[in-house]
Structure 1
Amino acid sequence: MEARQKLLIAAFYLAKFNEEAVRNLGYAGFRDAFNNIGATLNYSPNSVKNRRDDFDPLFDHRAGWHQVELGRSNLEIVDNFDHLSEEALRAIVLDLLDKESLDEIILPNSNRQSSVYTTRGVTGRKAEEFFMKWFATFHPDKTLIDKRDLGCGYDFGIENSSHVYEVKGLSENDGGVLFTDKEWKVATELQNDYHLVLVKNCLSENPIVETYSNPHFRFSPNKQVRMVVNVSWGISSNDLNHTDTD
C-alpha cells in the first residue's frame, strides 16, 4: 500500500474519532500524533494535520476544510472505512503504522472513474441544506418531513402528501449521482411520487435545483456492485481451551 493511502486512513481515523483516537493510539495530543504519524509515514506533521482537516467536515469536531470538496482518493477512504467501529479502524491504523506489519489492504472501491455523491460528505450536506431553504421559498404552503436518518430510501417527505424527495448534490454543473439499492428500490415502488432533486454547483453562492419525477422510469443506471473492507475478530481454539469459564 502506498504511503499516501496509509496517511489518508490514519487521517480519517483521527477526524472521525477525534480525541478518542489520539488517546487510543497512545499519543499525548494531536501535535504528538501529527509528529509521530508523519515521521512513521515520511510526511511532515502539517501534512498529517491537513489530511485530517480534509475529513473534518464529515463530522462535528471541527470545521476543517469545509470549503473544499472531497477528492476521489478521500471518498474512497470514506467508502471503505466509514462503516468500521473505532476498535476495528484503530487496529488497522496501528498495523499500518507498524513497519513490520500489514503493508497491503485491498480497497475494492478504488480506481473509480469519477467521484460520486455521498450523503455524508460536504456536497450532500450543502445540497440538503439548500434544498430545504429552496423548498420553503417556492412551496411555503407545504411542510417538509426530514427522513434522512430513518433509512426510508429517500431524504424528505411532505406532510399530508405521498410525494417524497431524494436530494443529490454536485459540486459543479455536471456529473453523475449514485443511488443506493434501497433508494432505487423505493423509487421503483413509488414511481411518480418519488422525486430526484439534483442541486448543482451546491458549494457556490448560487446553486441550481433540478427535479426529476419517477427517476426509475426516466433513467437507465449502471449497476455497481461494491465490496467493502470488513474486520472480524477471531478467538482461537487454543485460547478458548486455556481460559477458565465463568
Structure 2
Amino acid sequence: MAFYLAKFNEDAVQNLGYTGFRNAFNNIGAKLNYSPNSVKNRRDDFDPLFGHRAGWHQVELGRSNLEIVDSFDHLSEEALRAIVLDLLDGGSSSEIVLPNTNRQSSTYTTRGVTGRRAEAFFMEWFAKHFPNENLIDTRDLGCGYDFRIENSNRVYEVKGLSGNDGGVLFTDKEWKVAAELQDNYYLVLIKGCFSESPIVETYPNPHFQFSPRKQVTAVINVNWGISSTDLNNTRTN
C-alpha cells in the first residue's frame, strides 16, 4: 500500500477515495491497526524512487522493501490499485504470494530502485564530459542497453547504487547483448545516486570482466478474467 501511495502520489489518494494523504494515512492505519504516522513513514521509504518527495533518501531500502519494488513495479496503476483495495477489504478475493528471491547480504539494486536516478545523472554527466557526442536514449526499445552513441557502435548500460557498496543485476537480454558487443558494451555504475556528488565508474566488456551468478525469480502478474457467464449474458448477434 505504501509503495502504491509513493509511486502514484495524488492519483493514488484520489483513486482510493481519500480526500488527501492525511485522510489516507488515518483510514489505512485504522484498517490495518497501524498508526497513521507509521503508514506515512512506510510511504516515505519508497518516495526517493519516484521524485514526488525526498522521503527517506538517506536510508538504503531494506530487503523486504526491495522485494516489494522488484515484485510490483512493473504493474499498472489499475492493477496495483486493485491489489491495494483487496488488501484494504481484508484480502478476501485473492492471495498474494511474494516470490522467494533468497537475497544475500549484499544489496542488489535494480532499475526500479535507483536506476531512474542513475540514468538521469548519467545523461547530465555525459553531456558535460562528452559535449561533442550525441547520446541516444534507447531505454524503452528493449535493446539490452540504455543508451548508444550516434554514429558509433558504443553502447551503455547504466546501473545505480544508493550507497557506495553493493552489486547489480543484469537481465538475461542485457547479458546476452553484452556478450555480443564485447568491447563496445559499457557498464556504467553510478554510486551514491542520492548524494550531492555521485561517483561514476565505467566497465568495458562486463561479460568478459565478470562472472555473475544466475538468479531465477518469479514475477507477480495480474490478469483480468471475464467469466463465461458474463460473456454469455452480454453476447450480441
Q: TM-score range by the shorter chain?
A: 0.7 to 0.9
Instruction: Kindly report which structure 2 residues correspond to 1:113-152, keeping only aligned pairs within 5 A, or say none.
Output: 113=104, 114-121=106-113, 123-152=114-143
Q: Name 2:216's counterpart in structure 1.
A: 225
User: Aligned partners of 2:191 and 2:142: how far apart in 1?
Assistant: 24
Corresponding residue SS for 2:221: coil
Deviation at 1:204, TM superposition (A): 3.3
Deviation at 1:188, TM superposition (A): 1.3
User: Aligned partners of 1:240 and 1:126: how far apart in 2?
Assistant: 45
CA gap of 1:94–1:202, structure 2 versus 1, over 3 A, is closer
Instruction: Kindly report which structure 2 residues correspond to 1:137-216, keeping only aligned pairs within 5 A, or say none.
Output: 137-216=128-207
Of 99, 104, 107, the residue aligned with 2:90 is 99
Does 2:74 align with 1:80? no
Corresponding residue SS for 1:56: helix
Q: Name 1:56's counterpart in structure 2.
A: 47
User: Aligned partners of 2:91 and 2:119: how far apart in 1?
Assistant: 45
Q: Name 1:90's counterpart in structure 2.
A: 81
User: Aligned partners of 2:194 and 2:183: how far apart in 1?
Assistant: 29
Of 8, 17, 35, the residue aligned with 1:26 is 17
User: Aligned partners of 2:187 and 2:4: how far apart in 1?
Assistant: 32
Give the alignment's TM-score, normalised by structure 2.
0.86
CA gap of 1:116–1:100, structure 2 versus 1, over 3 A, is closer
Q: Name 1:5's counterpart in structure 2.
A: none
User: Aligned partners of 1:169 and 1:60: how far apart in 2?
Assistant: 16
> Which one is further off, 213-222 or 202-211?
202-211
User: Aligned partners of 1:158 and 1:12: how far apart in 2?
Assistant: 35
8 Å Cα contact 1:198-1:211 kept in structure 2: yes
User: Aligned partners of 2:157 and 2:82: how far apart in 1?
Assistant: 36
CA gap of 1:173–1:82, structure 2 versus 1, over 3 A, is closer
> Which one is further off, 100-109 or 215-224?
100-109
User: Aligned partners of 1:60 and 1:138: how far apart in 2?
Assistant: 25
Cα RMSD for the two superposed structures: 2.5
Deviation at 1:111, TM superposition (A): 4.2
User: Aligned partners of 2:226 and 2:147: how far apart in 1?
Assistant: 44
Q: Per-residue displacement from partner, 1:101-127 (whole Å, max 9, x unpaired)? A: 258521115442243222233x32343
User: Aligned partners of 1:203 and 1:117: how far apart in 2?
Assistant: 13
User: Aligned partners of 2:172 and 2:21: how far apart in 1?
Assistant: 39
> Which one is further off, 38-47 or 165-174?
165-174
User: Aligned partners of 1:120 and 1:225: how far apart in 2?
Assistant: 18
Aligned AA (1:191): Q
Aligned AA (1:120): G
Give the alignment's TM-score, normalised by structure 1.
0.83
5+ residue gaps, structure 2, are none
Q: Per-residue displacement from partner, 1:154-206 (whole Å, max 9, x unpaired)? A: 12222322111112122333321101122112111111100111223343344
User: Aligned partners of 1:134 and 1:15: how far apart in 2?
Assistant: 27
5+ residue gaps, structure 1, are 1-9
8 Å Cα contact 2:57-2:194 kept in structure 1: no
Deviation at 1:46, TM superposition (A): 1.3
Deviation at 1:36, TM superposition (A): 1.0
Aligned AA (2:184): D
User: Aligned partners of 2:116 and 2:235: how far apart in 1?
Assistant: 50
Deviation at 1:79, TM superposition (A): 1.1
